[in-house]
Amino acid sequence: MAPSTDIAVVGWATTPLVRRTDLSETQLLLRAITSALEPLGLTRSDVDFTCLGSCDYITGQAFSFVGNLDAIGAWPPKRDSHVEMDGAWALYEAWLRLQEGDIEIAVVTGSGRSSTGNPALIYPMEMDPYYLAPIGADPVTFAALQARAVIAAGIADERTMAEVAVRSRGEGDVDELLRGEYVREPLRRHDLPPITDGAAAMVLATGDRARQLVERPAYITGFDHRTECHNPAFRRLDDSPSTRIAAEAAGLGDAPVEVAELQAAFTHEELLLRSVLGLGDDVAVNPSGGALKANPIMASGLCRIGHAADHVFAGGTRALAHSTSGPCLQQNLICILEGRS
């Protein structure tokens, strides 16, 4: 669905994306928001709406997003919202809010400190509490089972997966990687995402305001997200119908994209998503390195949209960004960004 008013990404920023930070989540957000606003000549008082994406389970504190409000300068009182999702979904909410047409500037964030806990132990607790959490069904196990399905369908093999890892990280040798031990067969260490701390903040603006702020706004021309059922046992793991439907609804087929930033935390996910989205070799996939290079939890998807916007800022015409949530690509979001001459 096309928005009723022009809404564009006009800037974004991240903190350093590192294995472990000394900074609290509030401090990370504070710095990311300041870094996103300052180059645009904006201050927090110019912001009409904020939406933060974060996860209490990862922070280890109920209502942790309340403390994060310190980072947005919520006085005089602000219009604010929160999603217990990646910042990409916070962006979706802000995009909806801006369509009301009464405000011009929104800031969205995604933030998390993966190093706070042990992801291998935290994620199983977020699964189905009757059938999955009690046996500690962990994300790497689910990813391995999906990788096996994707390989069986002929969409990937261990070599093409290793090639994705080498291309994304810009380092390593495929033959050498393939000699590594399995973490969960058929996944080796290089098929897994890094554990990353960090935060991202993005600034949205509408209509003329966007054009005043930057020379080439990255207009959001299509945006959709869809979910499938939770338990991967009930899904076909060699397909991602939610991604396909979201892409159709966002208008992927209307015109070619030059760049696709996919939130593929595991190597086989990139190959499956490419296949489902029908991306040819002419599309640059994850020139940023993607989630395999840096995977700031709750911000990784927002970073994909940021990198897609960078392509437009630099003169590109059309880019696709994807974000995901849940085991085995349960829920998928597609955002199309376009520049205008």
CB of 70 within 8 A of CB of 307? no
Q: What is the DSSP secondary-structure string of 117-150?
A: S-HHHHGGGGS-TTTTGGGT--HHHHHHHHHHHH
Only one of the segments 28-36, 159-167, 219-227, 252-260 lies at the binding site for another protein (rule: CB under 8 A); that segment is 28-36
Q: What is the DSSP secondary-structure string of 5-49?
A: S-EEEEEEEE---BS--SS-HHHHHHHHHHHHHGGGT--GGG--E
Give the separation between CA 214 and CA 310, rounded to whole angstroms: 12
Only one of the segments 17-25, 266-274, 289-297, 313-321 lies at the binding site for another protein (rule: CB under 8 A); that segment is 17-25
Give the separation between CA 83 and CA 292, rounded to whole angstroms: 24
| Nearer of residues 7 and 276 to another protein, judged by Cβ | 276
Q: Decide: residue 88, CB within 10 A, 0-12 exposed, 13-18 middle, 19+ buried.
A: buried
Report in angstroms how near the CB of residue 319 gets to another protein at its nearest.
31
Among 14, 15, 21, 325, binds another protein (CB under 8 A): 21
Site mask for another protein (CB under 8 A), range 241-280, x = bound: ----------------------------------------
CB of 227 within 8 A of CB of 142? no
**Contact call for residue 129 and another protein (CB under 8 A):** yes
Gyration radius (Cα) of the chain, Å: 19
Site mask for another protein (CB under 8 A), range 205-244, x = bound: ------------------------x-xxxxx---------
CA distances from 41 to 30, 71, 94, 314 (A): 16, 18, 21, 19
Within residues 51-110, the interface with another protein by CB under 8 A covers 57, 59-60, 69-75
CB of 184 within 8 A of CB of 194? no
| Nearer of residues 29 and 259 to another protein, judged by Cβ | 29
| Nearer of residues 193 and 217 to another protein, judged by Cβ | 193
**Contact call for residue 125 and another protein (CB under 8 A):** yes
Interface with another protein (CB under 8 A): 21-24, 26-27, 30, 33-34, 44, 57, 59-60, 69-75, 113, 115-118, 120-122, 124-125, 129-138, 141, 144-145, 148-149, 181-187, 229, 231-235
